[in-house]
């Protein structure tokens, strides 16, 4: 299954269950491929299954309170135990790949140690996985969770009759909590890069990444944040994997030294140990560079902004619109009367507050103050009407950052198009506000002859950037 459109605007009790079912279905699909590419223990199929399990567990944990009654603690423990059972094979796959990558640069004597290390890794993996029934264990978890997640009870009374809170509200709270955890764990890496701290930081990055993943493209800044979290996870993961393999090689080297008959593998093990020490140093430097206080602060600050965007969406303060460049003013209905608009911005370090004056055809004057966050189709917008006297005092602060335009509003079914002709008459833009980011847009017949192209998200056509 896939998530339906508008899931963030659904009651959290329903939306969280749809998300959990989607994660469960993805894990079931990955489970069906276990063994497909299996010469040495699962390959990519095992990796995909582990990732699907992690995503499922993250959803069950992130929405634990909302899913109460459908997911029991023992369900999560069984899924976590299954994930843990696949861990040895995953680590072995990563370690074997690294050693294989060193083979060509090892001498003939050193390759004996590398080959011996590979055999040990595969032998230990077979021992750890002996008797494991990954598919059967998952099938039992799948049946129980699917049955419980497919239905739920909700009391309908008083103010709760609409099923609130919305999933967007709960998501915003979860992202904020996860960002706080991430800030604390990454902050510890600024003092010392040690294996335990790196591992805990990596888990915090992964938790936030999985939380954001289903909704990244629906929240301002979500896609870029998701990409940066993935890069951070890879940086931390590379250091952790190098440390685990170094421990494994060090243990093998000690055992080979104790076994007098294994002198032939010592040169290779020592070469691997030296290279792993250098890999740890380089990867530790990469972690230190990625986790400076400035970078950690910027990353977590962006996560908090995405959390705020989700919360605003839950309150209905998310502006979803598309914008189009026109070659000229289209022929508009006679009943579409223009209003005059003056907009100016008060600059801040992170926010630009917009002051807008609107003059209606009947001469009525209104002022509004607005703050917008984000770019693209979806942006957070918080607006309030402002007393004329206060607005007039604020207006001088916008000097040098103003635009003037004339606007026509044209209804088109359930949507309303806004046509803006800017002062000077050369620039004409059309905007339409949508109920959700994936809502389809059909251009009206009267607009098509004037269309140049869509410019949603193009900074050149953002009003603030047009201001002079």
Average pLDDT rounded to a whole number, residues 136-149:
88
What are the structure tokens assigned to 231, written together?
A: 């890069």
- Residue 350: the pLDDT is 63
pLDDT for position 8: 86
Q: What is the pLDDT of residue 132?
A: 53
When the pLDDT of each residue in the chain is averaged and rounded to a whole number, the result is 85
Segment of 130-134, 172-176, 220-224 carrying the highest mean pLDDT = 172-176
- pLDDT by residue (tens digit) across 415-439? 999 999 999 888 999 999 887 777 8
Q: How confident is the model at residue 203 (pLDDT cuts 50, 70, 90)?
A: very high
What does the pLDDT read at residue 122?
79
In our burial notation (b when 16+ CB lie closer than 10 A, e otherwise), range 332-357 reads beeeeebbebbbbbbeeeeebbbbbb
pLDDT at 437: 72
Q: Give residue 379's pLDDT band: very low, low, confident or very high (50, 70, 90).
A: low
pLDDT, tens digit, for every residue of 399-419? 999 999 999 999 998 899 999
pLDDT at 254 over 80: yes
Number of H helices, E strands in the chain: 13, 9
> What backbone torsions phi and psi does residue 398 show, to the nearest 5 degrees?
-95, 5
Domain ranges of the chain: 7-312, 318-466
**CA-based end-to-end distance of the chain:** 50
Q: Out of 48-62, 76-90, 164-178, pick the least confident.
A: 76-90
Instruction: Find out whether 49 and 86 touch, Cβ atoms under 8 Å.
Output: yes
Q: What is the structure's pLDDT at 204? A: 94
Residue 39 pLDDT grade (very low, low, confident, very high; cuts 50, 70, 90): very low
Tokens of 345: 């911005």
**Residue 412 three-state SS:** strand
Per-residue H/E/C for 298-319: HHHHHHHHHHHHHHHHHCCCEE
pTM over 0.75: no
37 close to 169: Cβ distance less than 8 angstroms: no
CA distances from 402 to 131, 268, 274, 418, 464 (A): 72, 70, 63, 19, 8
Whether the pLDDT of residue 130 is over 60: the answer is no
Whether 116 shows a pLDDT value over 70: the answer reads yes
The answer to which of 96-105, 184-193, 388-397, 422-431 has the lowest mean pLDDT is: 184-193
Confidence of residue 178 (pLDDT cuts 50, 70, 90): very high
CA-CA-CA-CA torsion sign (459, 462, 464, 468) = positive
pLDDT at 131 over 70: no
Instruction: Tell me what pLDDT residue 163 has.
Output: 46
Confidence of residue 120 (pLDDT cuts 50, 70, 90): confident
Q: What is the pLDDT of residue 156?
A: 53
Domain 318-466 CATH assignment equals 3.90.1200.10: no
Dist. CA 319–CA 377, nearest whole Å: 8
- Look at 11-25, 73-87, 394-408 and tell me which has the smallest mean pLDDT: 73-87
* Four-residue CA torsion sign, 419, 422, 424, 426: negative
Our measurement of the distance from residue 239's CA atom to the centroid of its chain's CA atoms, rounded to an integer in Å, reads 23
CATH superfamily ID and name for 7-312 = CHAD domain (1.40.20.10)
Residue 319 reports pLDDT greater than 50: yes
Are 438 and 399 in contact, with CB atoms under 8 Å apart?
Answer: no
449: pLDDT strictly greater than 70: yes
Give the rounded percent of residues in the chain with a pLDDT score beyond 90.
41
């Amino acid at each position: 299954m896939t998530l339906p459109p508008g899931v963030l605007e659904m009651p959290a009790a329903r939306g969280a269950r749809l998300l959990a079912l989607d994660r469960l279905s993805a894990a079931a699909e990955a489970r069906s491929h276990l063994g497909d590419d299996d010469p040495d223990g699962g390959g990519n199929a095992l990796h995909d299954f582990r990732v699907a399990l992690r995503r499922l567990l993250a959803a069950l944990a992130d929405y634990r309170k909302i899913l109460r009654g459908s997911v029991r603690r023992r369900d999560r423990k069984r899924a976590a135990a299954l994930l843990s059972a696949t861990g040895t094979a995953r680590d072995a796959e990563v370690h074997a790949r690294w050693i294989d990558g060193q083979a060509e640069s090892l001498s003939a004597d050193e390759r004996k140690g590398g080959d011996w290390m590979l055999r040990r890794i595969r032998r230990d993996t077979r021992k750890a996985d002996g008797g494991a029934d990954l598919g059967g264990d998952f099938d039992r978890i799948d049946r129980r969770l699917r049955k419980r997640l497919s239905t739920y009870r909700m009391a309908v009374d008083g103010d709760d009759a609409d099923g609130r809170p919305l999933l967007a509200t709960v998501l915003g709270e979860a992202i904020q909590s996860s960002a706080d955890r991430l800030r604390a764990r990454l902050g510890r890496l600024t003092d010392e890069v040690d294996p335990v701290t790196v591992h805990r930081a990596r888990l915090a990055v992964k938790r936030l990444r999985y939380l954001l993943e289903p909704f990244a493209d629906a929240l301002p800044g979500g896609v870029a944040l998701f990409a940066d979290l993935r890069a951070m996870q890879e940086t931390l993961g590379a250091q952790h994997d190098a440390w685990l393999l170094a421990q494994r090689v060090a243990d093998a080297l000690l055992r080979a030294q104790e076994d007098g008959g294994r002198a032939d593998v010592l040169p290779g093990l020592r070469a691997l140990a030296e290279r792993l020490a250098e890999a740890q140093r380089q990867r530790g430097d990469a972690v230190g560079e990625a986790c400076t206080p400035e970078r950690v602060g910027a990353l977590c600050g962006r996560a908090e902004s995405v959390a705020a965007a989700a919360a605003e969406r839950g309150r209905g303060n998310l502006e979803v619109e598309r914008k189009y460049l026109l070659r000229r003013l289209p022929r508009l209905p006679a009943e579409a009367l223009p209003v005059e608009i003056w907009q100016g911005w008060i600059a801040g370090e992170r926010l630009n507050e917009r002051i807008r004056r609107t003059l209606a055809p009947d001469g009525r004057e209104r002022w509004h103050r607005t703050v917008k966050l984000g770019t693209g189709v979806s942006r957070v917008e918080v607006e309030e009407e402002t007393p004329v006297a206060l607005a007039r005092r604020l207006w001088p602060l916008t000097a040098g950052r103003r635009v003037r335009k004339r606007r026509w509003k044209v209804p088109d079914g359930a949507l309303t198009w806004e046509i803006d002709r800017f002062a000077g008459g050369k620039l004409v833009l059309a905007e339409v506000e949508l109920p959700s980011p994936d809502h389809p847009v059909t251009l009206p017949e009267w607009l098509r002859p004037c269309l140049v192209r869509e410019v949603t998200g193009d900074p050149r056509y953002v009003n603030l950037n047009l201001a002079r």
